[in-house]
Amino acid sequence: MKEKILQSCKSIPPKNLVNYIRKGVVTLSELKDAGLSAEKVSMIQNLLRADDDKLWLAAKNENSAKSFQDYLSRFPDGLHKAEALEALQEKEESEWERVLANLTETTLRNYMECFPYGIRASECQDLLEDLPWLTTKQRNTIRDYQNYMSQYPGRHDEEVNQAILVLNDDNDWNNACLIGNSNAYKNYLNIHPDGKHAAEANNRIQSSAGRDAFLDKLRHNPNAYGAQEIQNKVNNNVASWEDIMDIFGFEKTEAIKLFRMPSELPESFPPESLTEGSTEVYFWGTPSSGKTCALGSIISSVQSKGIFEPLHCSGYDYMTRLSNIFDRRGFCVFPDSTSVGNIQEMIMNLTDSKKRQHKVTLIDLAGELFRSAYFKENNLFLDEGKEETLNKAMNYLKDTKNNKIHFFVVEYGAQDKKWEGLRMVNYLDNMIGFLKRQNIFRKSTVGVYVLVTKCDMIDCQSNERPRLAYDYVCQELPAFWNTLQNTCKKAGVSDVRVLSYSVGDVFAQNLCKFDSQDTDKVIEKLLTKTNAEGSRWDWLRG
């Protein structure tokens, strides 16, 4: 038939020749060689071009792999061949991406149906021929890989071993992250020294070393860091609030979060002499002994009990501030440290159970007095201001118009704590010798007490604290205690005791859940040892 067409092509209409070309019976080149006129060749080209454009437009509108394949089948050398091939390749790549995203037998067979001769056809066929391996990779668990290896030994062994190694690596890493401390990361590295998380593990070991030390210290001692220090550690990502909550619990952690440093307590100028007709209660303590907290708990407690009437005095503002520090209902914030060179005079009426009033002057003695007395005793230079403060305190103490009570506030376990180069025990020993030579303890002294603060830090039952506080003073402060006892005995002071003291459950150094048990005992001492209105001899009780 082809030969006949070529022989008679000059007489066959152009439309018929186009049909033969479309059916693949002949080609336009063969017709040219057979002597087809240029005019007919041009007519045939125009007819073919119109058909090519029409089919290409339809293929683009349908925008499917099949439509582009149909175009190329009809026009293997068509005007839009390059565009059709490019579009078909894009379709194939897009389809293969979908296959990889959801690798199943169905998606693989769909690909093969659409692209039986595609560039991924061979890979697709290999996967279809090994469906168990495909399923195993999809599940991607150690158990599935192990089952596959046992059922199909020798097939994909290298890939199986690598997959199991990666999964073990990831599992061990996730476990290490859940524990989140340096030991966990070290264990990961012991198992996977070259694991894909090895670099991160080393980084975390370095950063978690500080975290572990910080948290371990807090677990051992809830007062190892102040509330503001803990806030800073969390803000600097050394630890998290979840870590802090694991140690302190929810309520205490919230209190630490909300903590703000209190404003400084007001200073005042002490009077030249103290008011007559009031029992003078002196509080002695080196800096950070807990003296201000003890005073705050006493004044706050008498305020909350309704037995407190503040009277006009030089330390009125100071006293008022202290009266609002300790709250029986919530967490309390300790006051800021007071000036080491300040003496505060706080005069008040305290009402006893019989509705009688006791006029009391609480005197917060400057911590600087301990250093000034040390300089005085050792003939060291003492500047004029500090000597004036020391002399004023001695004038108060030597004046016999009022009865006197002394509380020496010492911090439990702080005998070796240093201030300005000397230990607390050195200052106490020196001070008691200085007071002895100044003849401070006289018949007007109705009670002398060593108040051992922070006894909540003693690892014991609360009922054992008094005995252990006494043992602490005897064992760690023997020179101070023995001199105090002997001096008071010679002066006729009968009530000389060690009192254990705690303001409650103290945590993060600056916060506590107030417990008034020890404070109430001190208040009872004050009421027992001070004169009540209308009774000159009530102070002898107790």
Average pLDDT in the 280-285 region?
Answer: 96
Does 366 score more than 80 pLDDT?
yes
* Residue 341: count of CB within 10 angstroms of its CB: 15
- Winning range, highest mean pLDDT, from 76-85, 98-107, 292-301, 469-478: 469-478
* pLDDT computed for residue 507 by the predictor: 93
The pLDDT confidence band at residue 180, using thresholds 50, 70 and 90, is confident
Q: Tell the residue number behind the tokens 């600056």, with chain if given.
A: 510
* Residue 211: count of CB within 10 angstroms of its CB: 19
CA count, 13 A, side-chain hemisphere, 272: 0
* pLDDT computed for residue 340 by the predictor: 60
* Residue 71: count of CB within 10 angstroms of its CB: 25
Average pLDDT in the 120-133 region?
Answer: 82
Percent of the chain with pLDDT over 90: 46
3-state secondary structure of 323: coil
| Domain covering 279-540 in this structure, CATH number | 3.40.50.300
Cα 109 to Cα 97, 112, 187, 255, 340: the distances in Å are: 14, 5, 46, 64, 88
Question: Can you give the residue ranges of every domain in the chain?
Answer: 37-129, 279-540
* pLDDT computed for residue 20 by the predictor: 81
Amino acid identity, position 124: C
Residues near 522 by Cβ (< 8 Å), separated by ≥ 6? 294, 298, 407, 451, 499, 501
Who has greater pLDDT, 539 or 388?
A: 388
The pLDDT confidence band at residue 12, using thresholds 50, 70 and 90, is confident
Please state whether the predicted TM-score (pTM) of the whole model is above 0.75: no
